[in-house]
């Protein structure tokens, strides 16, 4: 027999009251903050879909209050199944052997997890710090016995000479060039930079070696432009008499490259040398 069988007729009363109030199931569900399926199950008296009888009684009371229906008589007749508390199992009745086995099993799991995490870390530290760092030597020079001894930890040259090759500190070939003596001069090839200083308004057209335009603009008096030799392939300067052309620390006279309309045209090679434009 259903535990809420005594409440038969509640749903029909609620349905009639809802229809008399002109409310839909959706409106009732929104006002009660209940799912639409729960409201429909209450009216259809499908108590088995609504959970424990104590919850069904509370939902019916909320629905009845909304519509002004008195269901106390029917609800009092309903047989509510008692709530059974959860069954607790006492471990005092568990056999001692079983408790010991469970405890050992948990400890074994902890040990295995710790080993899985710790062993790789230990091996990584051993491989990183346990071995001596290999020495490096340039490919231009073969290290002698004294340098081998120093790399092996400060042993003497005679000691290092008699030690077998397998016991000596390993050498790694280095691609770095051999250091020169401090007294030996080092020559560094540097291409001089180029600059244009404008004493008057002028216009310039600077082309790269591939023909693309680097700059084409009207330059005001007092401004300055700088370029590298590899950046410039050809240059055209208007109002050339009002422009100072510098290359490195020296000044270059633009007169040999200037035409009658005061426009200088010249080319710049990759090494920075200037030559007139050949027509």
130-188, pLDDT tens digit by residue? 555 555 555 555 555 555 455 555 444 455 444 555 555 555 555 555 444 444 433 33
The pLDDT value given to residue 10: 80
Q: Is the pLDDT of residue 213 over 90?
A: yes
Q: What is the spatial distance between Cα 152 and Cα 146, in angstroms, rounded to a whole number?
A: 10
Rounded (5°) CA angle 252-258-259: 175
Q: What is the spatial distance between Cα 148 and Cα 152, in angstroms, rounded to a whole number?
A: 6
Helices (H), the chain: 10-20, 25-32, 36-44, 53-67, 72-77, 96-129, 145-151, 157-162
Higher pLDDT, 79 or 241: 241
What proportion of the chain, given as a percentage, has pLDDT over 70? Answer: 66
**Token match 């008296």: residue?**
45
Strand partners, 258: 264
Q: Which two tokens stand for residue 255?
A: 């007169």
The pLDDT value given to residue 59: 86
Helix pair 36-44, 25-32: axis angle to 10 deg? 110
Residue 139 Ramachandran class (φ > 0 left, ψ -120 to 50 alpha, else beta): alpha
**What's the CATH number for 5-77?**
1.10.260.40
Q: Is the pLDDT of residue 279 over 90?
A: no
Judged on CB neighbours under 10 Å (0-12, 13-18, 19+), 6 is middle
What proportion of the chain, given as a percentage, has pLDDT over 90? Answer: 13
Q: Is the pLDDT of residue 2 over 80?
A: no
Q: What is the spatial distance between Cα 159 and Cα 114, in angstroms, rounded to a whole number?
A: 45
Domain borders along the chain are 5-77, 194-276
Q: What is the spatial distance between Cα 197 and Cα 218, in angstroms, rounded to a whole number?
A: 13
In the chain, count of helices (H) and strands (E)? 8, 11
The string of pLDDT tens digits covering residues 45-73 is 887 878 787 888 888 888 888 888 887 77
The pLDDT of 13-40, averaged and rounded, is: 90
Task: Measure Cα distances from 33 to 14, 63, 219 in Å.
Answer: 17, 11, 77
Q: What is the spatial distance between Cα 235 and Cα 41, in angstroms, rounded to a whole number?
A: 91
């Amino acid at each position: 027999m259903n535990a809420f069988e005594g409440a038969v007729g509640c749903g029909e009363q609620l349905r009639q009251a809802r229809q008399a109030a002109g409310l839909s199931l959706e409106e009732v569900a929104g006002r009660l903050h209940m799912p639409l399926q729960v409201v429909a199950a209450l009216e259809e008296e499908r108590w088995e879909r609504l959970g424990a009888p104590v919850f069904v009684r509370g939902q019916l009371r909320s629905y009845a209050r909304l519509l002004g229906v008195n269901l106390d008589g029917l609800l009092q007749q309903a047989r509510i199944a008692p709530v059974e508390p959860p069954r607790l199992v006492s471990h005092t009745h568990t056999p001692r052997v079983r408790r010991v086995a469970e405890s050992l099993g948990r400890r074994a799991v902890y040990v295995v997890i710790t080993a899985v995490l710790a062993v790789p870390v230990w091996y990584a530290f051993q491989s990183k710090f346990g071995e001596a760092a290999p020495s490096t030597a340039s490919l231009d020079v073969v290290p002698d016995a004294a340098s081998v001894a120093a790399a092996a930890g400060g042993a003497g040259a005679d000691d290092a000479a008699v030690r077998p090759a397998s016991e000596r500190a390993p050498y790694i070939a280095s691609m770095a060039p051999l250091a020169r003596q401090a007294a030996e001069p080092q020559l560094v090839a540097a291409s001089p930079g180029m600059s244009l200083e404008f004493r008057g308004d002028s216009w310039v057209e600077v082309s790269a070696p591939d023909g693309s335009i680097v700059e084409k603009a009207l330059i005001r008096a007092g401004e300055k432009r700088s370029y590298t030799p590899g950046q410039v392939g050809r240059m055209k300067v208007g109002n050339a008499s009002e422009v100072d052309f510098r290359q490195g620390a020296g000044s270059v006279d633009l007169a040999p490259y200037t035409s009658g309309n005061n426009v200088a045209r010249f080319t710049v090679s990759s090494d920075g040398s200037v030559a007139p434009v050949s027509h």
